[in-house]
Structure 1
Amino acid sequence: MKMRFPISKVILYTTFLSTMSVAAQTDKINRDYRPRTYDVQVRQFEIYPDSTNDIIFLGNSITARAQWNELLRLPQARNRGISGDTTFGILERLDEVTKGRPSQIFLLIGINDISRNFPDDEIIRNYETIITRIQKESPKTRLVVQTILPVNSSFGEYERHYNKDEHIVKVNTGIKRLAKKYELTLIDLHPLFLDSSGSLNAKYTDEGLHLNEKGYLYWAEILHPYLH
């Protein structure tokens, strides 16, 4: 015997599936997403004085969580990290960084793009646009690009960022290619933070995504030879 459902229930169920599908698609392609604190932080950055001696650390929460001037004992270090930021967010606020014509920019961005399912090729294209804009808008700035750090999925706090290792590898391959194409200094952080299983070493993190104090001390050691 065939089961028959009232037309109203069929319509409601079809509408539900359609809504869920649209929501999933929107979640994947929401390039307009900006973190909740994005606007106020950009406005704060804009009122800070600029100097051509500034060394800018540009990125997302992994950058934002460090006090770079204290960590590196570098008074001219400036933190321009925003938690949750993406390559789209960097592009939107990049003029605030380049207008000061800083001495150096250390760039680390991309893991949130990957977590939001932006296509790898699109992330790499955005990365290239960031590079070309910096070179055009602040030609004397020395840009240092860094590969995206690994994650560790054995922790349970940032599921959206976990199990995306193949995307991290592909984007990092693109970053290395761009560094070579534009003759940039590259710091290949990714392999330096791996454990024997290919994940972010647990001694450098407390939740599988961000670095803990040991991770930042290690990163600082890596950065020192590149500072001037």
Structure 2
Amino acid sequence: MKGRKLLIISLALNAFLIVSFLVFGYIYRDKIAQRFVRIKGNPTIVMYGNSITAQGKWVELLGRTDVMNNALPGQATYHFLQLIQSHVIDLHPKVCFIKGGINDITLGVRQDSIQSHFKTMLEMLMRNRITPVVTLTVYERNDPSSKKEVDALNAFLVSFCTQNNITCIDLNRYISDSTGLRAEYAVDKTHLNTKAYEIWAREVSGVLKEKGI
């Protein structure tokens, strides 16, 4: 009788551990996959940007394990430029999806500085035979001043990318309106929710398919 109780306890404990392991793996699957990509090295795709990029579960969203999320939460384009060599170029990806600028705008960085940082980074990527893809800066919610600055930055990015045959992704056409980021796609004034990331991932996947990557 005692042996049977011990067996039942042992089976229950094993079942609990297995379920816990599966739940843990499911919740943290993107982080686990990212660790695998880092160990393997040489990712095909690097996602580079601020917290908006960092919060994307890109392995899961894109359904592939050769994508590395090397975004820099809370940082401005100056920091992107300082770290692009180690965070992107030294990894030798085929393509880098780059997005940023809203932190600069929030901090009051001048347009010419933001644009110069972007120009230098895009030129560095092209010079190192890495295909850059620019995701245009997304509006914030209900902030006319910020929206004006975003429009100025995006106008520059579109112009530069057009001149250099660089692909742009414009999320604002899907998730924003005349007042800025729509509430149904936001978790706060600036950051995106799951629905917005699904749209973004759809656009990224379309670019990858178009480029045969």
In the TM superposition, 1:1-228 aligns within 5 A as 49-51=40-42, 53-96=43-86, 97-136=88-127, 138-139=128-129, 141-153=130-142, 163-195=145-177, 197-227=178-208, 228=213
Query: 1:190, CA displacement in angstroms?
Result: 2.4
User: How big is each residue's C-alpha offset from its partner over 1:61-90, in whole Å with a ceiling of 9 and x where there is no partner?
Assistant: 000001101111111111011111111111
Query: 1:191, CA displacement in angstroms?
Result: 2.5
Contact (CA 8 Å) 2:58, 2:69: kept in 1 or not?
A: yes
Cα distance in structure 1, aligned partners of 2:99 and 2:72: 11
Cα distance in structure 1, aligned partners of 2:39 and 2:80: 18
TM-score (structure 1 length as normaliser): 0.71
TM-score (structure 2 length as normaliser): 0.76
3-state SS of paired residue (2:191): coil
Query: 1:100, CA displacement in angstroms?
Result: 1.8
Q: Which has the higher helix share?
A: 2
Task: State the aligned residue count.
Answer: 172
User: How big is each residue's C-alpha offset from its partner over 1:3-37, in whole Å with a ceiling of 9 and x where there is no partner?
Assistant: xxxxxxxxxxxxxxxxxxxxxxxxxxxxxxxxxxx
Cα distance in structure 2, aligned partners of 1:100 and 1:78: 10
* Runs of 4+ that moved beyond 4 A: none
Query: 1:50, CA displacement in angstroms?
Result: 2.8
Cα distance in structure 1, aligned partners of 2:39 and 2:116: 30
Query: 1:189, CA displacement in angstroms?
Result: 2.0
3-state SS of paired residue (2:69): strand
Query: 1:162, CA displacement in angstroms?
Result: 7.2
Q: What is the aligned-residue identity percentage?
A: 27
Cα distance in structure 1, aligned partners of 2:104 and 2:174: 22
Cα distance in structure 1, aligned partners of 2:125 and 2:204: 20
Q: Which runs of 5+ in 2 are unaligned?
A: 1-34
Query: 1:48, CA displacement in angstroms?
Result: 5.1
3-state SS of paired residue (2:68): strand
